[in-house]
Amino acid sequence: MWVAISLIAVALLGMLLFANAPIHLAMPSAIWGAVSGWTLTALPLFVWMGEILFRTKLANDLFKGLAPWTRKLPGRLLHVNVIGCGIFAAVSGSSAATAATVGQMSLPELKRRGYAEPISIGSLAASGTLGLLIPPSIIMIVYGVSANVSIARLFLAGVLPGIMMMALFMGYIMIWAALNKNKVPPPEPPVPFWDKVKLLRLLLPVALLILAVIGSIYTGVATATEAATLGVVGSLLVAAFSGSLTWTNFKQSLYGATRTSCMISFIIAAAAFLSLVMGYAGIPRALANWIGTFNLSPYELIFALTILFLILGCFLDGISMIVLTTSVIMPMVEAAGIDLLWFGIFIVLVVESAQITPPVGFNLFVVQGLTGHNILYVAKSVLPFFFVLCLGIAIITVFPEIATWLPKTMFSAP
């Protein structure tokens, strides 16, 4: 609430100082234009889908279905955090919901079986950020609306980077386990192959939900909003068949989705008004011209923006970062010839990093609530994974095709 109120207050002050336009006309016009677009209707539906699934037995089923398959990997059950978050991210769209849902099941199990708590906490907090990257992603919808980029293309662009980050997280866990064998408990008793296959049936509901939501977008059968509607109906069915759909849970999910959606929409509306005022004041143009005097190469500009976003991430949540900075940085990004589709994935990865940096790293607070440890303990536990995320940012910067190849291939196909 205070983020949006602060944005409006600064915008009102800016209108009085720098603009001749009447506030009573400019303000409602900017706000209505920002929140009345049809594209934005997908956002509350995806939020509601995540809220419904948060209250189901999905996390429990994920753990039971995945655990036997990670037995022979170095690090063993720690990989359930990464894979479980990756799967739940594909039906949630929220970083906090992903970390909270998987963590409420995995952290007690890992602690009970003797896994070192710092690596358990760190892998969960970092893997929870996959909720921002793996589609459907709420923050991609916000970026798509703010930067006027196709949300369907953004969703496609997030697939391969999402898989890449899962592989990097799992790779780090394997290296850590090889160097700290005394901190990994003995392997669980072996499970017969066919029993492991039977346990995979627990993943069938979420697999069908992913197929319905993501598959309908990729095949062109549904728009993002229509796919979100399918997701809500599918998540209600999953909740019903799992026995988790009660009237109380239904109301709580609806209230939770309403609160979150209103919060996001309020910030978007306030940022749109501030962006209008900055346009009147000529700030984006002046800033872009000033940056242009440095003659930065695209790589130098990307490095500078990475530092900027990491600093902002210490004080703002991801959605506020995107809607507040889009109007300022887009002119210079476009002038540098940077692909806006790739830039959307880059921003998401940087925001992921900000989700696990104190003092306002949202995933740190989620994991703190699950474990009871202080925020510094959680931040220290997740620090190695922060550097893994930085490695991911470097990789997609050097190899942008990781983000752009799939949407270009899918949308250029006859």
Q: How many CB atoms lie under 10 A from the CB of residue 71?
A: 15
8-state DSSP, 1:
-
Phi, psi of 150 (to 5 degrees): -55, 125
Peptide bond into 136 cis (omega under 30): yes
Q: Which pLDDT score is estimated for 145?
A: 84
Q: Which pLDDT score is estimated for 360?
A: 65
What gap in Å lies between CA 16 and CA 14, rounded to an integer? 5
> Which segments of 355-413 does DSSP mark as H helices, in order?
362-371, 375-398, 401-412
Any idea how long the chain is? 414
> Which helix (H) or strand (E) element contains residue 256?
helix 247-281
What gap in Å lies between CA 301 and CA 337, rounded to an integer? 11
> Which helix (H) or strand (E) element contains residue 200?
none
Q: Quickly list DSSP for 116-141.
A: -HHHHHHHHHHHHTHHHHSSS-HHHH
Q: Closest by alpha carbon to 261, among 29, 36, 39, 46?
A: 46
pTM of the model: 0.81
Q: What is the pLDDT of residues 281-323, one digit of tens each?
A: 777 667 667 776 777 888 888 988 888 888 877 767 777 778 7
Q: Which pLDDT score is estimated for 217?
A: 76
Q: Which pLDDT score is estimated for 113?
A: 83
Q: How many CB atoms lie under 10 A from the CB of residue 186?
A: 8
Give 3-state DSSP helix, strand, coil % of the chain, rounded to 5. 80, 0, 20
Tell me, what amino acid is at 169?
Answer: F
Rg over alpha carbons for the chain, rounded to the nearest Å, is 22
Residues 27, 33, 34, 38: what is their CA dihedral angle, to the nearest 10 degrees? 160
Confirm if 80 and 62 have CB atoms less than 8 A apart: yes
Q: Which pLDDT score is estimated for 288?
A: 65
% the chain with pLDDT above 90: 20
CA-based torsion, 219, 220, 225, 229: positive or negative: negative
What gap in Å lies between CA 409 and CA 262, rounded to an integer? 36
Q: What is the pLDDT of residues 13-55, one digit of tens each?
A: 988 887 777 888 888 888 887 777 776 787 788 888 878 877 8
What gap in Å lies between CA 2 and CA 388, rounded to an integer? 32
pLDDT beneath 50, residues of the chain: 413-414
Confirm if 102 and 128 have CB atoms less than 8 A apart: yes
What gap in Å lies between CA 338 and CA 47, rounded to an integer? 30
Q: Which pLDDT score is estimated for 413?
A: 47
Tokens (6 digits) for 297: 């190469």
CA atoms within 13 A on the CB side of 282: 4
CA-based torsion, 59, 62, 63, 65: positive or negative: positive
Q: Quickly list DSSP for 82-101.
A: HHHHHHHHHHH--HHHHHHH
Three-class HEC string of 156-196: HHCHHHHHHHHHHHHHHHHHHHHHCHHHCCCCCCCCCHHHH
Q: How many CB atoms lie under 10 A from the CB of residue 237?
A: 16
Q: Which pLDDT score is estimated for 284?
A: 65
Q: Which pLDDT score is estimated for 410?
A: 76
Q: Which residues have C-beta within 8 Å of that of residue 95, sequence separation ≥ 6?
A: 128, 129, 130, 131, 132, 318, 352, 355, 362, 363
CA atoms within 13 A on the CB side of 78: 29
Question: What spatial distance separates the first Cα and last Cα of the chain, rounded to whole Å?
Answer: 46
